[in-house]
């Protein structure tokens, strides 16, 4: 334990000093009497004290966190606006060979990369839409139209990638046809 403590002490001996110097440099051009600078400095200096007090109480009790961290799942299974072409076994080529299938062929890697971008765009837009709905309410008249924004996002991804992903031009063509058929209420 003593050797561990000595090693850690050597590695972290000046870490607080470096952070304080970075804070001083970052706020050097702020007026000294600025309340924001004083508040920021107070929170920086007091964090170890508050953390030492609050962490045990929060971790050993059933008290909710003050700032909970929400998690959102981003999975190709949740992105369903675009359908993979029926001539393929599935959307992602890399799931074969124990999830190393895309490692062996360029077209498989490009396929999975493209689907990752498209699915990511859809899931991000859905996440923003959920937050909007939660803030405004389900019956809000100004709720953004999902299909319109999905089409724009998908079109932007395809336009960006179609020249870079030469091995999947057939897939890009099929996906563009789906965009043409997509309605604003999709």
Please report where in the chains the tokens 């996002």 appear, as a residue. Answer: 153
What's the token pair of residue 126? 């859905």
pLDDT one digit per residue (tens) for the chain, 186 residues: 788 777 777 766 666 777 778 888 888 888 877 788 888 888 877 888 888 887 787 778 877 767 777 888 999 999 999 988 776 678 888 888 888 888 888 999 999 999 999 999 999 999 988 888 788 766 666 666 788 899 999 999 999 998 888 888 899 999 999 998 887 654
Note whether 150 and 129 are within 8 A (CB): no
Q: What is the pLDDT of residue 184?
A: 63
The three-point CA angle 179-133-76 to 5° equals: 45
Whole-prediction pTM:
0.63
Q: Residue ranges of the domains in the chain?
A: 2-60, 96-181
Confidence at residue 141, expressed as pLDDT on a 0 to 100 scale: 60
Query: What is the reported pLDDT for 120?
Result: 96
Structure tokens at 149: 């924004």
The Cα–Cα gap between 23 and 40 comes to 9
pLDDT of residue 157: 95
Measure the CA–CA gap between 64 and 58, rounded to whole angstroms. Answer: 7
Interatomic CA distance for residues 149 and 38, integer angstroms: 43
Q: Would you say 129 and 144 are in contact if contact means Cβ atoms under 8 Å apart? A: yes
Residue 110: Cβ within 10 Å count: 21
Other CB atoms within a 10 A radius of the CB of residue 109 amount to 18
- Give the orientation angle of helix 169-181 with respect to helix 146-161, to 10 degrees: 160
DSSP state of 101: G
Tokens of 164: 């870079």
Answer yes or no: are the C-beta atoms of 115 and 171 closer than 8 Å: no
All residues at 6 or more sequence positions from 61 whose CB lies less than 8 Å from its CB, including other chains: none
Residue 23: what pLDDT? 80
Residue 77 and residue 122 in contact, taking contact as beta carbons nearer than 8 Å: no
Instruction: Please answer whether residues 151 and 179 qualify as being in contact, where contact means their C-beta atoms are separated by less than 8 angstroms.
Output: yes
């Amino acid at each position: 334990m003593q050797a561990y403590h000595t090693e850690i002490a050597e590695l972290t001996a000046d870490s607080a000093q470096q952070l304080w110097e970075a804070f001083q440099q970052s706020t050097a051009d702020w007026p000294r009497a600025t309340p924001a600078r004083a508040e920021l400095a107070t929170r920086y200096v007091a964090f170890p004290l508050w953390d030492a007090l609050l962490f045990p109480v929060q971790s050993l009790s059933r008290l909710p966190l003050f700032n909970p961290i929400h998690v959102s799942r981003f999975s190709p299974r949740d992105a369903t606006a675009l359908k993979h072409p029926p001539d393929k076994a599935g959307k992602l080529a890399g799931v074969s060979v124990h999830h190393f299938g895309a490692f062996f062929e360029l077209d498989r890697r490009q396929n999975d990369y493209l689907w990752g971008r498209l699915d990511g765009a859809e899931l991000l837009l859905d996440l923003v839409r959920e937050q909007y709905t939660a803030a405004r309410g389900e019956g809000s008249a100004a709720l953004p139209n999902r299909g319109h924004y999905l089409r724009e996002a998908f079109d932007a991804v395809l336009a960006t990638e179609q020249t870079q992903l030469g091995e999947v031009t057939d897939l890009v063509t099929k996906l563009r046809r789906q965009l043409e058929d997509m309605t604003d209420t999709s």
